[in-house]
Structure 1
C-alpha cells in the first residue's frame, strides 16, 4: 500500500510538488488535492487517480479530464 503512495509524484519541476498532494477520501480512495498556482491553472480539470502495488513494484496513473 505505502509503495503506491510514494510513486504518486508526476515528473514535474520540484517546486510544483509542494502544490500537489495525494490524500484519502472518506471511503479510503486516493484523490489529488491541488493548491497555489497549480490549482488555479487546473481549476477546470478533474483528476482521476489510480494507485497499485504488488510486492516491491508500485505504479500510479493520473488521468486529467477537462470539465
Structure 2
C-alpha cells in the first residue's frame, strides 16, 4: 500500500492562481429595494395572516466574501 501523498501548497503556487478582479460596483440596470420596501413586504405578509397561526419564514442566502 502506498503512503498518502502530502500536499505541498506553497506561497509561490498560490501566487500563480491569484488574480485581482476590479469590482464594477452595483449594476445600474437593477432596482434595489429600500428598507421601506422590506418593511412594506413584512407588513403585508403579517396582514395576510391575521389571528392565524404563527408565520414561519425560511430564508436562504449565500455569502461570498473576499478577504
More helix by share: 2
- Which interval holds the TM-score relative to the shorter structure? under 0.3
Q: Of the two structures, which has the highest relative contact order with CA contacts closer than 8 Å and spacing of 6 or more?
A: 1
Q: TM-score, normalised by structure 2?
A: 0.23
Q: Based on CA coordinates, which of the two structures has the bigger radius of gyration? A: 2
- Give me the TM-score of the superposition, normalised by structure 1: 0.23
